Amino acid sequence: MSASPDPQPPPGVVELREDLPLKASSAAGGAASGSAHCAGGPRLILAAFAALSAAITLALLTQIYYGDYEVVPHGSVAASGAECSRAGTGALRAGGRALDAAAAAALCLAVLAPHRTSLDASGALLYWEYRSSRWESPTLAEWGGAEEGAGGAGGARPPRLLAALAALHERYGALPWPQLLQPAIDIARKGFLVSEGLAQAAEARGLAGYVAGQPRTEPALADFLETLQLNTSAELCAAWRCAGSVRTSSAAATRAGSWRVWAAGAGGRHAAAALAAALPPPPATAVPPDDTLTRVVVELQQQAAGVAAWPAGVASGLAVVDPQDTYVALVTGLSTAFGSDGAAVGAAGNAAVDAAGSYGWARDTPRAPLDLAPALLVDEHVCGTRYVIGAESGAALAQSAAAALAGGAPAAAAEGARVALAAGGALAREAGRAAPAPLAAPLAALLPRGAALNASRPYAAVNLIQQRGDALLSHADSRGGGIASRF
């Protein structure tokens, strides 16, 4: 089953398949006008030529500094769930901004993928109004996690993800708050098909009622979300005091070759450092493309061997580009599948009540850094390529970004076989996927001799959007079970 039907798109707006590029229409306007005159001679000709030259110069400067004006609305959302990608683009087509789409998709994922995220998930988000503020750094917002401290874990409090999204919506949102909750409510009440990954995670936690390919409803969760439609996000934040729960700052860039990398979350920061070490900035000698991936993995191994607490947990990521070229990379996650308190609530069934007295959600209390890795990658050249990435682990971000920056297509960068990284630097292969070609030979040296390591499920997905000029390419990693939605 799927979410409620998307709002009808404006005339001329067509939703595209994930494998087709999206290009904004260009409009050429201008009318040549002339009038009869009896005098003027060379002076009139020179004056007209000067005015034309000034107009052309002004137009070129405007295009260089502010970009092309988009005549046809466009946008894209790539999330670990097809219904959630469509919920995001539905918000964009209704006139919403990138934050609206990210909120609708993230709430949808809390219903579809409770083994990866929830209403109490911690999160990391990068927000950048590229068209209007490309010379300013993106905004970084983080909440929950081990960094929250003991004070945020005890006592009565609202669900972390809901409180954070309400605070961000109050600042950046355009659509009414109740409208963003509706897709998640519809999916929870009408039902959804349980994915194979969700069924496997539920079996591992001893939770009943999750059968792969069978429908499941979450009426208690729908009821709880409906109560939140009675208030605006500002009213909820006033009651919850949620603004203080979100840690915001100006994101710091890392140079990786000719690229600027902004990465958030504990996993994202490790990935950015590995990319910077593997791709030294110009004019240093360029690293051969077939050696970049190996260098990235080795750098990650060295980092993992040198830190006391390597990021862990499960996550769900998404990427958004809206018609105003505003970018949002968001990853939310839990310390363990279904959260640290998820087993108790799941075992009691849909009518369970958690310790906070709220229906349909359970607490998660991370004790170690969570492996969240949203990122923005920007080519330094004018009108260069940009990537918006919601990666569900730092190792996945580093390897997929290395493939993309070496010239790989977005789909190949997201879907390519990867190795997972555990504490201490141990590598693990993903079952059913061959080792990445650049790592095939070095794997014998990188892995302990005779070791047969397999990465644990769910595998970390990478959902990304590439923008080059006005063309959009988006892809949702099959590891997360999503399909990107664009129009």
Per-residue pLDDT of the chain (487 residues; tens, 9 = 90+): 444 444 455 555 555 545 444 444 444 344 434 444 444 566 667 777 677 777 666 655 544 444 443 445 589 999 999 999 999 999 999 999 999 999 999 999 999 999 999 999 999 999 999 988 888 999 999 999 987 854 444 557 899 999 999 999 999 999 999 999 999 999 999 999 999 999 999 999 999 999 999 999 999 999 999 999 999 999 999 999 887 889 999 999 999 988 999 999 999 999 999 999 988 777 654 555 567 888 899 899 999 999 989 999 999 999 999 999 999 999 999 999 999 886 555 444 443 344 444 467 888 999 999 999 999 999 877 668 999 999 999 999 999 999 898 888 899 999 988 889 988 888 888 877 766 666 666 555 665 544 455 788 889 999 999 998 888 999 999 999 999 999 8
- Residue 349's region, left for phi above 0, alpha for psi from -120 to 50, else beta, is left
d(CA 80, CA 48): 57
Say which DSSP state 459 is in: P
468-485 b/e (C-beta count within 10 Å ≥ 16 → b): eebebbbbbbebbbbbbb
Element (H, E) at 375: strand 373-379
d(CA 97, CA 109): 19
The percentage of residues in the chain with a pLDDT greater than 70, rounded to a whole number, is 76
What is the structure's pLDDT at 350? 40
d(CA 358, CA 293): 46
Short-list 340, 227, 398, CA closest to 389: 398
What is the structure's pLDDT at 41? 60
d(CA 400, CA 209): 35
Short-list 394, 191, 357, CA closest to 273: 394
What is the structure's pLDDT at 407? 80
- Please answer whether residues 372 and 332 qualify as being in contact, where contact means their C-beta atoms are separated by less than 8 angstroms: yes
Q: Using omega within 30 degrees of 0 as the cis cutoff, is the peptide bond preceding 5 cis? A: no
Say which DSSP state 340 is in: T
* Cα-to-chain-centroid distance, residue 417: 20
What are the residue boundaries of the structural domains of the chain, listed by start?
76-486
